[in-house]
Amino acid sequence: MNKKEREDFEWASSFYLYADLDKEWDNWDEEKLFEEISALAWQPFEHWEGEDIYNEINKLASSVRQKIEKETNE
Protein backbone atom coordinates (compact mmCIF):
# COMPACT_ATOMS: atom_id res chain seq x y z
CA MET A 1 0.00 0.00 0.00
CA ASN A 2 1.48 3.33 -1.01
CA LYS A 3 1.18 6.60 0.94
CA LYS A 4 -1.83 7.87 -1.02
CA GLU A 5 -3.68 4.56 -0.63
CA ARG A 6 -2.94 4.59 3.11
CA GLU A 7 -4.27 8.12 3.45
CA ASP A 8 -7.38 7.25 1.45
CA PHE A 9 -7.99 4.17 3.60
CA GLU A 10 -7.58 6.17 6.80
CA TRP A 11 -10.00 8.82 5.49
CA ALA A 12 -12.57 6.20 4.47
CA SER A 13 -12.24 4.34 7.76
CA SER A 14 -13.81 7.32 9.55
CA PHE A 15 -17.14 6.35 7.95
CA TYR A 16 -17.01 2.90 9.59
CA LEU A 17 -14.92 3.26 12.76
CA TYR A 18 -15.57 5.42 15.81
CA ALA A 19 -11.83 6.07 16.35
CA ASP A 20 -8.67 6.17 14.27
CA LEU A 21 -6.55 3.10 13.72
CA ASP A 22 -3.12 3.01 15.32
CA LYS A 23 -0.46 4.77 13.25
CA GLU A 24 1.27 1.44 12.63
CA TRP A 25 -1.86 -0.35 11.38
CA ASP A 26 -0.42 -0.98 7.92
CA ASN A 27 2.40 -3.04 9.47
CA TRP A 28 0.01 -5.44 11.22
CA ASP A 29 -0.86 -8.88 9.92
CA GLU A 30 -4.40 -9.33 8.61
CA GLU A 31 -5.65 -11.08 11.74
CA LYS A 32 -4.60 -8.25 14.03
CA LEU A 33 -5.89 -5.61 11.62
CA PHE A 34 -9.30 -7.26 11.27
CA GLU A 35 -9.57 -7.67 15.05
CA GLU A 36 -8.77 -4.00 15.63
CA ILE A 37 -11.20 -2.87 12.94
CA SER A 38 -13.91 -5.02 14.53
CA ALA A 39 -13.14 -3.55 17.96
CA LEU A 40 -13.36 0.02 16.59
CA ALA A 41 -16.50 -0.55 14.51
CA TRP A 42 -19.05 2.24 14.65
CA GLN A 43 -22.36 1.05 16.12
CA PRO A 44 -24.14 0.23 12.81
CA PHE A 45 -21.24 -2.11 11.96
CA GLU A 46 -20.47 -3.53 15.39
CA HIS A 47 -21.75 -7.00 14.50
CA TRP A 48 -19.86 -7.17 11.20
CA GLU A 49 -16.67 -9.19 10.81
CA GLY A 50 -13.49 -7.12 10.74
CA GLU A 51 -12.63 -8.39 7.29
CA ASP A 52 -16.02 -7.30 5.93
CA ILE A 53 -15.58 -3.81 7.37
CA TYR A 54 -12.06 -3.68 5.95
CA ASN A 55 -13.43 -4.56 2.51
CA GLU A 56 -16.06 -1.81 2.72
CA ILE A 57 -13.46 0.75 3.80
CA ASN A 58 -11.19 -0.31 0.98
CA LYS A 59 -14.00 -0.08 -1.60
CA LEU A 60 -14.91 3.44 -0.46
CA ALA A 61 -11.29 4.56 -0.48
CA SER A 62 -10.70 3.16 -3.97
CA SER A 63 -13.94 4.58 -5.37
CA VAL A 64 -13.24 8.07 -4.08
CA ARG A 65 -9.67 7.97 -5.42
CA GLN A 66 -10.95 6.92 -8.87
CA LYS A 67 -13.47 9.76 -8.82
CA ILE A 68 -10.81 12.31 -7.83
CA GLU A 69 -8.47 11.11 -10.57
CA LYS A 70 -11.25 11.18 -13.15
CA GLU A 71 -12.29 14.71 -12.12
CA THR A 72 -8.74 16.04 -12.18
CA ASN A 73 -8.04 14.53 -15.62
CA GLU A 74 -11.07 16.10 -17.31
Alpha helices by DSSP H, the chain? 3-13, 30-39, 50-73
Reported as a single tens digit per residue, the pLDDT across 57-70 is 999 999 999 999 89
**What is the per-residue pLDDT for 30?**
96
Domains in the chain, number = 1
Is pLDDT above 80 for 74?
no
Reported as a single tens digit per residue, the pLDDT across 21-72 is 999 999 999 999 999 999 999 999 999 999 999 999 999 999 999 999 899 8
Q: In whole angstroms, give the CA distance from residue 37 to residue 31.
A: 10
Which residues does 50 contact at the CB level (< 8 Å), separation at least 6?
33, 34, 35, 36, 37, 38, 41
Range of the domain at 66: 3-73
